[in-house]
């Protein structure tokens, strides 16, 4: 998954390798640079902080998942299921490191918030890879909804030690079904509200038209006097 030659990839891989063995909070930027065979100046040229390294890891995972994703037949929901399970497959070798990182972040909402944009971007690309429509305001709802679903299932996956990931698949299936029902309900609600608002606008337009005073009838001007 990682490029063996670029300084950026070396640093990300070094950070993840260190997190396999040590708590994320104890790992310093100097440790990452040393593990990657870089100096701190090289690291600073690529990243702004440790969280930036995690964002780079997310992007590497996105790229690998999208490369493995095949546009098969079926519903968007079924393709999304396969895409997310592919993501867990890609993350598999890094599960011990991700456990330590997740444990560190769970009581640090400030640091988690710094990862929010890249997390939403990852879910956007997972939806795109599954063939979901991402135009209009509904796209934001889809992305936010999938981020919430993924977060819940990710926690299940971290503790799922079965080779076939049965618990993870069951949790993802339930979450996607619930999300699909929620989107359907929201669509119906939005359509109802839209009809009500359109009817209200039409009623106001007619009310304004009927309240305007009727102009007096036009009369022909008196003929000019002959001079």
Per the CB < 8 A criterion, the answer to whether 2 and 9 are in contact is yes
Helix (H, G, I), strand (E, B) or coil at 133: coil
The CATH class, in words, for 7-191 is: mainly alpha
Contact 186, 141 (CB under 8 A): yes
Q: Which range, of 59-68, 128-137, 140-149, 208-217, averages the lowest pLDDT? A: 208-217
DSSP letter for each residue of 29-54: HHHHHHHHT--HHHHHHH-SSHHHHH
- How far is Cα of residue 35 from the mean position of the Cα atoms in its chain? 31
Residue 29 has pLDDT above 70, yes or no: yes
Is the pLDDT at 44 greater than 50? The verdict is: yes
Q: What is the pLDDT of residue 208?
A: 74
Report the distance separating Cα 222 and Cα 53, nearest Å.
88
SS3 214: coil
Q: Supply the mean pLDDT for the chain.
A: 86
Q: Which two tokens stand for residue 178?
A: 């619930």
Residue 35 has pLDDT above 70, yes or no: yes
Among candidates 67, 43, 38, which has minimal Cα distance to 56? 43
* Tens digit of each residue's pLDDT (9 = 90 or more) over 88-103: 999 999 999 999 999 9
Q: Is 37 a residue whose pLDDT tops 90? A: yes
What are the pLDDT digits (tens) for 136-145?
778 888 899 9
Angle at 109 between CA 103 and CA 111, to 5 degrees: 80
Residue with tokens 């819940």: 152
pLDDT at residue 194, as a whole number: 52
Range from 42-56, 73-87, 104-118, 169-183 carrying the lowest mean pLDDT: 169-183
User: Higher model confidence: residue 179 or residue 128?
Assistant: 128
User: Within a 13 Å sphere around the CA of 144, how many CA atoms are in the beta-carbon half?
Assistant: 7
Place of tokens 């950070």: 15
pLDDT of residue 227: 39
Q: Mean of the pLDDT values across residues 201-226?
A: 64
Q: At what angle do helices 29-36 and 50-68 cross, to 10 degrees?
A: 50
> Across the chain, which distance is largest between two alpha carbons, in Å?
113
Q: Tokens 């009310």 — which residue? A: 207
Joined tokens for residue 141: 């709802």
Parse the chain into domains and list their residue ranges.
7-191
């Amino acid at each position: 998954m990682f490029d063996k030659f670029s300084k950026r990839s070396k640093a990300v891989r070094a950070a993840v390798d260190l997190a396999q063995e040590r708590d994320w909070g104890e790992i310093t930027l100097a440790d990452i640079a040393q593990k990657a065979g870089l100096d701190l100046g090289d690291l600073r040229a690529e990243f702004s902080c440790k969280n930036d390294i995690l964002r780079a890891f997310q992007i590497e995972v996105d790229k690998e998942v999208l490369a493995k994703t095949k546009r098969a037949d079926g519903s968007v929901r079924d393709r999304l299921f396969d895409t997310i399970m592919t993501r867990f497959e890609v993350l598999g070798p890094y599960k011990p490191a991700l456990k330590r990182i997740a444990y560190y972040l769970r009581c640090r909402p400030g640091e988690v918030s710094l990862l929010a944009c890249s997390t939403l971007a990852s879910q956007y690309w997972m939806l795109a890879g599954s063939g979901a429509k991402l135009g209009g305001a509904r796209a934001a709802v889809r992305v936010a909804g999938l981020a919430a679903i993924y977060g819940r299932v990710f926690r299940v996956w971290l503790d799922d030690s079965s080779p076939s990931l049965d618990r993870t698949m069951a949790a993802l299936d339930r979450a996607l079904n619930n999300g699909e029902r929620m989107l359907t309900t929201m669509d119906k609600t939005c359509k109802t509200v839209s009809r009500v608002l359109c009817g209200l606008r039409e009623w106001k337009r007619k009310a304004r038209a009927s309240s305007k005073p009727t102009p007096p009838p036009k009369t022909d001007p008196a003929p000019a006097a002959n001079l």
